[in-house]
Each structure stands twice: as structure tokens, then as C-alpha cells.
């Protein structure tokens, strides 16, 4: 039985005309009986529709309006105004912030420190239907949530770990996953659009761009002519390598919005994040960052470097870099922001980190 349409009439749902004891009826009597039969049929259908209806129906009981949405998994027909949305992966913070009609989400531990108190409270309240990885998808929990839209926010290669056919049997599924680190801008827009919350997205983007513009103006003279390098946290500590991030990477893309220029590029582009970051050996530290006037490096929300970054900071080679000698190495917090509201916190952290440059 379709949840969005009334059940078909069956023999048991139709009114049964009692057998007549008279040998014949007048035409007038037949005309009087007709409205009664029609009324009984309408009542039966109405009761059936009420039993099978969902929140996706409008007040008139009609099917919701739909549109075709272009997703990573092709063109999908989705509700214009989804009423029950399940989100996973990168779609979780985007749709929480957009105030989408969420009835189920995956866990998103990596982004909890970036959430406001209000968003964090909502994150805790919405039922969890998946874990941190695509392999931890709870299909039964998703079905029980009765969604009218499922937004999967994982990279396209990871879709192989998801039973898409099973999800599509529950509700329309749109896959909108990350590509390069700075693509969160278009990614979060598409996710908000799918959930019918594009207006909320535009408000958040405007607030971010206003704040970024203020910082560009504030630090324009201090940043003029300076070449930056960045040490990221995505490498294995103590394994003899470090992560160098270039422009458009996790730790650099938001900083670029305030006017910071990161020089250089990867030696070999391998696609995705491999186009904007690399992991050279620690012995290559002088060659990689020796020309940097200023070096930024990723730290955790509490301000402490992760083990992979601390490994670099403890290296004797780090201490001999020109930027280190000039005391122009700056820690950056909240570099994992992947939505405009969370990136506002990154901008505030950048403001604090760049203040020493105003005193030069």
C-alpha cells in the first residue's frame, strides 16, 4: 500500500446493496439509493487514506509536489518541500544549521566542537540512524523513521559501501558528497536546496561573507606581500612524514577568504584532496616550507596540536625554518569547518591568530 495515496477500493470496502423483497423498484427509488452508495464509498476511501497517509501529504490528501534534483547518483525525483528528512555524513551539520525537517541523522563527532549550543542540542535530540562511516548505516532505523527524503553526504567512492537500492525502496535518495576540501560551499548549498531550506543557506552565506570582508579590510596591509605555508593534521604521527597543505585545502581555504596567500602546489595531483595537499618526508621540511614568510598550522578546538602536528613542531628542522626563527608560526583552530555558520568560528579564530601581524 502506498503511503501517499488512498488504497484501492475492494469488494469489502464497497457498500453492499441489500437484496430486494419487492419484484420491482421505481426509478425514483433507484435515484435515491445512488447518493447513499456514493457517500458510503467516499467514506470508505477516506478512512483508508487516513490509515495509510504520512506527513508528506498536504491537507487535502493530495500527493506532494515533486521536482527533479541532480545529485551524484543521477537525477532524482524528490519532494519540493520535504517533511521528514534523513541526513548522513557532511549533510548532517548543513541540514541541522538549515533547520531542515530532520527525523534521523548519522553521528558527526568530528564537527561537534563547531556547533552552536542550539545546533548541538538539536544534534543530540534527533535519532541516530547511522554511525561515522557508511558501513554503519542502520537500514531498519531509517525505514522506521518514515522519511520522504534521504540525503547522503559521503564521497562518491564511499557509496559502494551503502545499499542504495534498499534505501531507495524507503524514500528518494540524493547523494551529495564532498570532492575537494573547499567544495563545502557548493556542497552545503546543494544539500540545503534538496531539503527545501535554500533561504536559510543564503542568510548564513551572507553573514559569513560580511565577516570575511571585514577581516580582509582589517588585515590587508599586514598581509600584503607575505607568502604563507600550512602544516595540516592529516598524517601519521612519527611515521617520518608531515602534511603540507596548499591553497584550497582544509586548513587554508577559509584563511584565503580573508586575504592570505598560500604559495606552491603539490608535486603530483592525485585527485580530490590529493590536488591540494601532500605528505612529504620530514627531511623535506626545509625545502617545502623554507620560503614561507609565515607558517600556519592546524590545532584542535582546545588549541593543542594533534600528535601529527606536534611531531613536526618537535623536529629540529622546524626550529630552523625562517618563519620559526622570526616567530611567525601561527596556530589555526576550527579548520574542519564545512558550513558557513561553522566557518564563522574559523574566521573568529583567524582574527585572533593574525593579530601579531598587526604589530610588525
Q: Which helix (H) or strand (E) holds 149?
A: strand 149-153
CATH number at residue 235: 3.40.50.1980
**Same domain, yes or no: 174 and 249:** no
Name which of 12, 7, 93 is nearest 46 in CA terms: 7
**Same domain, yes or no: 31 and 135:** no
**Same domain, yes or no: 349 and 218:** yes
pLDDT(34) > 50: no
Task: Read off the C-alpha cell for 107.
Answer: 553521528
Name which of 89, 87, 90 is nearest 133 in CA terms: 89
pLDDT(351) > 80: yes
Q: Which residues of 185-194 are buried (b: 16+ CB within 10 A; e: fewer)?
A: eebbbbbbeb
Task: Taking residues 254-260, report their average pLDDT.
Answer: 98
Percent of the chain with pLDDT over 70: 83
**Same domain, yes or no: 128 and 154:** yes
264: left (phi over 0), alpha (psi -120 to 50) or beta: left
Which one has a higher pLDDT value, 329 or 12? 329
Residues in the chain: 360
Asked if residue 132 is part of any domain, the answer here is yes
Domain that holds residue 86: 66-196
Asked if residue 208 is part of any domain, the answer here is no
- On average, the pLDDT of the chain sits at 87
Rounded Cα gap, residues 116 and 288, in angstroms: 37
Span of 58-62, 114-118, 273-277, 332-336 with lowest mean pLDDT:
58-62
Task: For 298-326, write each residue's pLDDT tens digit.
Answer: 999 999 999 999 999 999 999 999 999 99
pLDDT(25) > 50: no
- What pLDDT, on a 0 to 100 scale, did the predictor assign at position 359? 87
Domains identified in the chain, total number: 3
- What pLDDT, on a 0 to 100 scale, did the predictor assign at position 236? 86
Task: For 154-208, write each residue's pLDDT tens digit.
Answer: 999 999 999 999 999 999 999 999 999 999 999 999 999 999 999 999 999 999 9
Amino acid at each position: 500500500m502506498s503511503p501517499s495515496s488512498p488504497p484501492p477500493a475492494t469488494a469489502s470496502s464497497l457498500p453492499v446493496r441489500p437484496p430486494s423483497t419487492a419484484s420491482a423498484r421505481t426509478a425514483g427509488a433507484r435515484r435515491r439509493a445512488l447518493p447513499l452508495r456514493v457517500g458510503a464509498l467516499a467514506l470508505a476511501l477516506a478512512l483508508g487514506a487516513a490509515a495509510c497517509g504520512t506527513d508528506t501529504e498536504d491537507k487535502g490528501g493530495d500527493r506532494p509536489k515533486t521536482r527533479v534534483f541532480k545529485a551524484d547518483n543521477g537525477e532524482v525525483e524528490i519532494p519540493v518541500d520535504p517533511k521528514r528528512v534523513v541526513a548522513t555524513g557532511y549533510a548532517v551539520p548543513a541540514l541541522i544549521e538549515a533547520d531542515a525537517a530532520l527525523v534521523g541523522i548519522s553521528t558527526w563527532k568530528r564537527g561537534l566542537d563547531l556547533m552552536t549550543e542550539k545546533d548541538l542540542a538539536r544534534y543530540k535530540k534527533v535519532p541516530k540512524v547511522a554511525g561515522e562511516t557508511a558501513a554503519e548505516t542502520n537500514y531498519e532505523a531509517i525505514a522506521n523513521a518514515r522519511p520522504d527524503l534521504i540525503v547522503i553526504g559521503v564521497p562518491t567512492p564511499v557509496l559502494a559501501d551503502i545499499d542504495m537500492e534498499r534505501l531507495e525502496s524507503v524514500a528518494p535518495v540524493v547523494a551529495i558528497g564532498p570532492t575537494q576540501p573547499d567544495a563545502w560551499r557548493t556542497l552545503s548549498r546543494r544539500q540545503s536546496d534538496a531539503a527545501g531550506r535554500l533561504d536559510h543557506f543564503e542568510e548564513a552565506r551572507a553573514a559569513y561573507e560580511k565577516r570575511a570582508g571585514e577581516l580582509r579590510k582589517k588585515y590587508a596591509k599586514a598581509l600584503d606581500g607575505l607568502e604563507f605555508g600550512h602544516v595540516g593534521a592529516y598524517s601519521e604521527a612519527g611515521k617520518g612524514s608531515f602534511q603540507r597543505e596548499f591553497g584550497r585545502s582544509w586548513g587554508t581555504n577559509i584563511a584565503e577568504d580573508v586575504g592570505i596567500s598560500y604559495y606552491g602546489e603539490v608535486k603530483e595531483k592525485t585527485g580530490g584532496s590529493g590536488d591540494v595537499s601532500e605528505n612529504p618526508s620530514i627531511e623535506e621540511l626545509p625545502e617545502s616550507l623554507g620560503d614561507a614568510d609565515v607558517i600556519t598550522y592546524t590545532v584542535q578546538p582546545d588549541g593543542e596540536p594533534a600528535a601529527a602536528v606536534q611531531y613536526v613542531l618537535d623536529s629540529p628542522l622546524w626550529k630552523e625554518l625562517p618563519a620559526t626563527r622570526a616567530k611567525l608560526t601561527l596556530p589555526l583552530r576550527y579548520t574542519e569547518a564545512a558550513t558557513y555558520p561553522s566557518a564563522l568560528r574559523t574566521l573568529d579564530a583567524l582574527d585572533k591568530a593574525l593579530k601579531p601581524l598587526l604589530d610588525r
